[in-house]
Structure 1
Amino acid sequence: MPALASPEPYIIGLTLTGVLIALVAWLPLALKRLPLSLPILCIAIGVAIFLLPSVSLRPLPLSYPEITERFAEFVVIIALMGAGLKLDRLFSWRRWSVTWRLLAITMPLSIAAITAIGGWFLGLSWIAALLLGACLAPTDPVLAADVQVGPPKTGEEDEVRFGLTSEAGLNDGLAFPFVNLAIALAISASTGEAWFQDWLTHSVLWEIGIGIAGGWAIGWIFGWLTFKVPSETKLAKTGDGLIAIAATFVSYGLTEMLDCYGFLAVFVTALTLRRSHHHHDFHHDMHDITEQVERLAMMVLLILFGGALVSGMLRTLQWQDAVAAVAIILVVRPVAGLIGLTRFPADRSEKLTLAFFGIRGVGSFYYLAYALNHAPFAEAERLWAIIGLVALLSILLHGLTVTPIMRMLDRQQGRDPDGDDAPPPPGLKGPAVESS
């Protein structure tokens, strides 16, 4: 019998891709009742792969700055579209009051507290400390999927799931002014150029205002094309959920061409598209495709993150950095969250859950990569180490606690976490899928 030839890298890659896609489809169901999360398993897979002697690639973000920025950007914008499409609650200032509290109070407090920790405790320059705060304050729309609402039309969202979903959708865009502030200060420190007027008028007023307006306009156009045009040419007639991916790319691309916040625009586009025909079943198709693409891309990114961890991403950490990372996860976000929710009409258990699950991850990776690609920061390697550690701790701590905490919260509020009306985990359309 002839000896088997060594498989080509292409064949190995094809096989591993098939395994990864199978895991994307199967793991959410397998993990439904376990105190374990998909991101934890992805990181473990990445660690195992990149510890193999035959694997020479070292996926450190500083070694691949452009790829890191663009890949994280891609995952976030897909997640933002999915988050906007699955929100059932109609937009209003009163109904979204939990969102405004988390955005207007909790996030600025978090940025201020993390900046203070970075400057006074970690000894970073104040500009780098501000960048650290801006990167770590927002709740991540990608890794927070387990605490978000279910697919469209699965029932009225509880306050916790709605609050965390809407916060994650909007705070990525609203954190960007602080990232741009750190960039402006870093450039000014090296060139002496004035920064305040341009930052205020462009990075705050223009980019937020046009981001919202542009996102609404593109969402209205796609909503009209999908649901309102004559019946024979409605995009909804195709049954092809890829329309959501098209809307994502068009919204992000056009608004970025206008030099405004594409993240904010994509989420507003998703909300507007959902409201164009609120109860149409086609929203399920659009949400399903965005969620599948998001989970596949997220798994690849986290496998690479696991590889970065064993390739030396954390080697510059100091003991103060580890203390600060724990404080950011266990003190800063929970305290800022509870302050933001003061006098909010919700049970204490709901407030504690909202305050605790400020998950950090892919969004933080994008902000740091973006900033380092646009301005000089001497502490770049240490910033990556700190943010990598915070993301790792968040993935582990929140991933291990999310299932038992959310199930306990459901029971306290009279919902059966295993019942037909329970919010399904990411990747599942609901209990009916299992019984069909």
Structure 2
Amino acid sequence: MTIEAVWFLIVGALMVLMALGRNLVERLPMTGAMVYLIVGFLLGPAGAGLLTIDVERDVRLLRTLTEAGLVVSLFAIGMYLRVELSRPLWRLTLRLAGPAMLITIAVVFAAARWGLGFAAGPALLLASALAPTDPVLANELRVEEAGDDEPLRFALSSEGGLNDGAASPMVYIALALCGVGSLGSENPWTFALAIAWGMTSALFFGWALGTGVVVLVTKLRTKYDYALGLEGFLALGLVALAYGATLIVDGYAFIAVFAAGVALRRQEMKATGDKPPSEVLESVERGQREEAAKDPELAHAYIAENMMGFSVEIERFVELGLMVIIGSVVSAHWRELIHWSVVWPVLFLFIVARPLGSTLSLIGSSMDRHQRFLFGWLGLRGVGAFYYLLFSLEQAGHDRVGPLLPITLAAIVLSVFVHGASATPLLKRYLRRK
């Protein structure tokens, strides 16, 4: 039996089992990410040895795969957030993706600098990689459908969509402290301007392309019966355009992709109004879908829901693939993960830094004590932290960033199991109380 046949059998069996057991997984205190992580570990060097990944050797490939997966997830989250920009819910997003993340970075930086003895650059890199919450693995925390405005779900979803990009300036500052130059880093003032440009250009390109693509496509469909079908191509094309255009001008491209998803949903809201798109399209029969795509009253809802549905399906493949890869990396380094010097910084992040950051940032908000506790606890770490670790390894080298590898991997593993197992029962209890 060839290795290719074995891999086909493993991947096929995993997909079929997850499809058949999805309802069981949802009822138990477990997630798909746990299953994929365990499978990756068992396939890795500590298990069957079928998947051996060298982070230092394969860093560019791993970073590219992780980056591609993140952008699809960020776009999907943006399209879930069907809420007017004037609503106070977005202030929660800004509190969590701004002050809460910065406070978390500061507290973890202090722990790494003086508790672990790291130099300033690596300490800030570790803090910046671990501070953002994860957009890929947070399915249990995400809004249930476009238009869901439950405050806890909305804020956690939008935080995960925005703070991966918002962490980029801190990562570049940390790399500058490690001796790796970037746009404007030779001078504090030019660096500040570069950060402002990175944020502004990302929002501009993301919003302009998200708006422009949906306006163009719906006009072609409703007026000329043209550009029908292939919403998956449109979704991936828009993601690539927003990401590539922002990278070319040295902007923070993760923010651009998220903004493109929000902008596309904003156009659907303007056309559809208060009625959820699922209700708008519920009367459309399967054989009438092409007609719905050309109907001026249905076209925006049709394109938005189909593009979001496609993105979510791709996101599930991304979760499977990336968590198996991370599991294999953990399998190669598991002995390093069980030292107390690796575990305590992760526990410090979960129990002290994240709750402190979210609690302080929510002072003056309408959130009650129970909601603030959940905000502080449900800060899942995963693919985003892995991406910034790989990006830093690629830029600064293994000598500077290598010591951060076991801590980052331990944070991902513990978060997947501890946060993943607790998220569903905590949310169910919270929603029953409401």
TM-score interval for Structure 1 and Structure 2 normalised by the shorter chain: 0.7 to 0.9
Aligned to 1:209: 200
Aligned to 1:339: 360
Aligned to 1:432: none
SS at match of 1:138: coil
Work out whether residues 337 and 343 of structure 2, in 8 Å CA contact, stay in contact via their aligned partners in 1.
no
Work out whether residues 389 and 405 of structure 2, in 8 Å CA contact, stay in contact via their aligned partners in 1.
yes
TM-score (norm 2): 0.87
| Aligned-residue RMSD, C-alpha | 2.2
Q: Which runs of 5+ in 2 are unaligned?
A: 270-276, 278-300
Alignment map for 1:114-193 (pairs within 5 Å): 114-153=108-147, 156-187=148-179
Alignment map for 1:393-412 (pairs within 5 Å): 393-412=414-433
**Deviations 1:112-159 (CA, angstroms, capped at 9, x unpaired):** 001001100011111100011110111111112210112325xx3210
Structure with a larger share of its residues in helix: 2
Work out whether residues 220 and 227 of structure 2, in 8 Å CA contact, stay in contact via their aligned partners in 1.
no
Aligned to 1:293: 314
In structure 2, how many angstroms separate the alpha carbons of the residues matched to 1:236 and 1:22? 34
**Higher alpha-carbon deviation: 241-250 or 75-84:** 241-250
Aligned equivalent of 2:241, options 250, 270, 276: 250
Change (3 A) 1:226 1:235: farther
**Deviations 1:306-360 (CA, angstroms, capped at 9, x unpaired):** 1111212552764222111111012210121111112211232222111211111
In structure 2, how many angstroms separate the alpha carbons of the residues matched to 1:174 and 1:53? 37
Aligned equivalent of 1:357, options 352, 358, 378: 378
Q: Which runs of 5+ in 1 are unaligned?
A: 1-6, 414-436
Residue identity opposite 1:368 in structure 2: L
Deviation at residue 53 of structure 1 after TM alignment: 6.5
Residue identity opposite 1:221 in structure 2: G
In structure 2, how many angstroms separate the alpha carbons of the residues matched to 1:84 and 1:71? 21
In structure 1, how many angstroms separate the alpha carbons of the residues matched to 2:354 and 2:262? 26
Aligned to 1:266: 257
Residue identity opposite 1:125 in structure 2: A
Aligned to 1:312: 333
SS at match of 1:96: helix
In structure 1, how many angstroms separate the alpha carbons of the residues matched to 2:225 and 2:389? 41
Mapped pair 1:222 → 2:213: yes
In structure 2, how many angstroms separate the alpha carbons of the residues matched to 1:82 and 1:235? 25
Residue identity opposite 1:196 in structure 2: P
In structure 1, how many angstroms separate the alpha carbons of the residues matched to 2:413 and 2:83? 32
Aligned to 2:90: 96
Aligned to 2:16: 22
In structure 2, how many angstroms separate the alpha carbons of the residues matched to 1:249 and 1:25? 29
In structure 1, how many angstroms separate the alpha carbons of the residues matched to 2:114 and 2:14? 43
Work out whether residues 337 and 356 of structure 1, in 8 Å CA contact, stay in contact via their aligned partners in 2.
no
The number of aligned residues is 401
Change (3 A) 1:250 1:349: same
Alignment map for 1:29-40 (pairs within 5 Å): 29-40=23-34
Mapped pair 1:55 → 2:17: no
Change (3 A) 1:161 1:64: same
SS at match of 2:138: helix
Residue identity opposite 1:157 in structure 2: D
Work out whether residues 242 and 289 of structure 1, in 8 Å CA contact, stay in contact via their aligned partners in 2.
no
Change (3 A) 1:316 1:395: closer
Deviation at residue 286 of structure 1 after TM alignment: 1.4
Change (3 A) 1:397 1:330: same
- Share of identical aligned residues, percent? 27
In structure 1, how many angstroms separate the alpha carbons of the residues matched to 2:430 and 2:226? 39
**Higher alpha-carbon deviation: 85-94 or 100-109:** 85-94
Change (3 A) 1:52 1:185: closer
Aligned to 1:84: 78
In structure 1, how many angstroms separate the alpha carbons of the residues matched to 2:106 and 2:88? 27
SS at match of 1:36: coil
Residue identity opposite 1:16 in structure 2: I
In structure 1, how many angstroms separate the alpha carbons of the residues matched to 2:135 and 2:91? 19
**Deviations 1:160-193 (CA, angstroms, capped at 9, x unpaired):** 100001111111111100001111221269xxx8
Change (3 A) 1:48 1:313: closer
Change (3 A) 1:50 1:230: closer
In structure 2, how many angstroms separate the alpha carbons of the residues matched to 1:258 and 1:234? 35
Residue identity opposite 1:246 in structure 2: G
Aligned to 2:4: 10
Deviation at residue 376 of structure 1 after TM alignment: 4.2
In structure 2, how many angstroms separate the alpha carbons of the residues matched to 1:20 and 1:77? 24
Work out whether residues 119 and 126 of structure 1, in 8 Å CA contact, stay in contact via their aligned partners in 2.
yes
In structure 1, how many angstroms separate the alpha carbons of the residues matched to 2:254 and 2:149? 23
Aligned to 2:298: none
**Higher alpha-carbon deviation: 327-336 or 234-243:** 234-243
